Amino acid sequence: MSTPVLNQPRNTDPKTVLVGLGSSVQNAIIPAAAILFGSGGLGIFFALPVVVAIVAVGTFFSYIRWKRLTYTIGEQDIRVESGVLSRAARSVPFERIQDVSLEQKFIPRLFGMVAVKFETGSGGGEDLSLQYLTEEAGEELRQLVRERRDGEVAAAPSDASAEAAAPRAEEGVTLFRMGPGRLFTFGLFQFSLAVFAVLAGMLQYADSFFDWRDLDIDLLNGWAAQYGGDWNALDRAAQIISIVSGLFAIFVIGSLTGMVRVFTREWGFLLERTPRGFRRRRGMFTRTDVVMPVHRVQGVKIGTGWLRYRFGWHALSFVSLAQDQGASSHVVAPFAKLKEIAPIVEAAGFHLPAADADWRLASGRYMVDSAFFNALGFLIIAAVAGTVTWQFAPEYFDFAIGIPLVIAGISAMAKVFTWRFQRHALDANQIMASRGLFSPKSQIATRLKLHSVEIAQGPIARLRGYATLHLGQAGGTFAIPGVPVERAYEVRRKVLATIATTDFSQLETAG
């Protein structure tokens, strides 16, 4: 594809219609299967016309949508017009575009098509999407938008310059990759019982296919008596075998479910450091290609699970200007050791806590208050249950108050025990926070990229002398609860001093 001409509307690739055809065939599978199984031997004669009708209608509307969708690359923005009966026009200035990503779902991938998605970081997710362009055209459009956004060119580049720039944009240093072996290990930790929820739902309709009342118990007992047994008295060994077999089936099915999810989502995972920033590619059926400029990384998060932590596995994600709250679109190392995470963190301009980091614990008073409020609900339950049983069933009094009191004690002790793992540290360049005992989570932010520091205190916190630090971070949230009030003011003073003494006009904004 040649470089797009400015201010000239154009359609997406014509093979978009073929993608619509493939989607229509996919949509026709379930109705066709339902007709085949529900119409006996003549099902094929009813299913075929339905399939043809669904595919024909779907392809027709796909053609109309493709014909009526145009995009225009202007001097300052990109505009998209769409709609059949009513037209809609959307325009996004280049300077507002935070990220440009390429996505290939299974059917578009068969035809070599990609969806080009533009994000503005305004909280609305993907503000603009073009479906579909060829892989080469999508990459060229991504490069052109980035050049326009960063002000690298004043006019549309020539074909020769575009071809020369494309290879440079692809060159990069591999920071992290996951092969089949790593994915298999990852899948073992992604145990999931979601499939059992589906099976449980299907069992609700089992009576439609089989009536348990049709079983002839006398006949079954007769069969069992011939072999010296009694159908109504299950053998203890058979019960044990059934329990063990059931647990094994749960483990196998749960593991396979997690394995399938990992392999389909993370297949071919590759993270590179390119001249444009971090480039992440992954996916088996839906292939995504995301590039994030380094200067848009506002912080890093390191998390893990209670089981994988025992084996030293962690996940690394970036807090970015272009991400929505709670989104997982910027996971850059979903299953890695800390020695693999450290170079990625350093490439983003951060560093992991040093061995001699000055960690500060949360306030002891905050720990006591949190333990009390954790147990308060169960104490109330114990009081209510004890009052009721004392009046109406005194023989159950000990049982009624005992269980809530035990749970209250466990809850309070858990908070006291985990308090020593809730801490934060401040060094010359960044602030770090960590929490959690069984599945610790850490967050790191650069001091000069923080926008504000807020000290929040409720009535109890004011009375007890601690506060919650809210650090203003673009693209994410960073809060440190239970900080002694003197320490909170110290952190705020140092962070604001870093921000005030930094000339942001001199900071590097490329890459």
Q: Please report how many Cα atoms fall inside a 13 Å half-sphere around the Cα of residue 278, on the Cβ side.
A: 28
State the Cα–Cα distance between residues 462 and 369, nearest whole angstrom.
Answer: 12
As given in the structure block, the two tokens for residue 413 are 């002790």
pLDDT number for residue 276 = 81
Question: For the chain, which ranges sit under pLDDT 50?
Answer: 1, 124-125, 153-169, 206, 209, 212, 234, 324-328, 509-511
Cβ 179 vs Cβ 20: under 8 Å: no
Cβ 338 vs Cβ 314: under 8 Å: yes
pLDDT number for residue 168 = 45
Give the residue among 3, 10, 50 at the shortest CA–CA distance from 165: 3
Give the residue among 492, 495, 490 at the shortest CA–CA distance from 428: 495
Give the residue among 264, 334, 286 at the shortest CA–CA distance from 102: 286
Query: How long, in residues, is the chain?
Result: 511
CB within 8 A of 373, min separation 6: which ones? none
DSSP state for residue 182 in the 8-state scheme: H
As given in the structure block, the two tokens for residue 99 are 């990220």
CA max distance for the chain: 93
pLDDT number for residue 281 = 92
Cβ 433 vs Cβ 423: under 8 Å: yes
Give the long-range contacts of residues 151-160, CB within 8 A, separation 24 or more: 155/6, 156/3, 156/4, 156/5, 156/6, 157/3, 158/3, 159/2, 159/3
Q: How many CB atoms lie within 10 A of CB 177?
A: 15
pLDDT number for residue 228 = 53
Q: What is the pTM of this model?
A: 0.76
List alpha helices for 189-235, DSSP H.
194-203, 217-226
pLDDT number for residue 164 = 42
pLDDT number for residue 161 = 41
Please, what sign has the CA dihedral across residues 159, 164, 167, 168?
negative
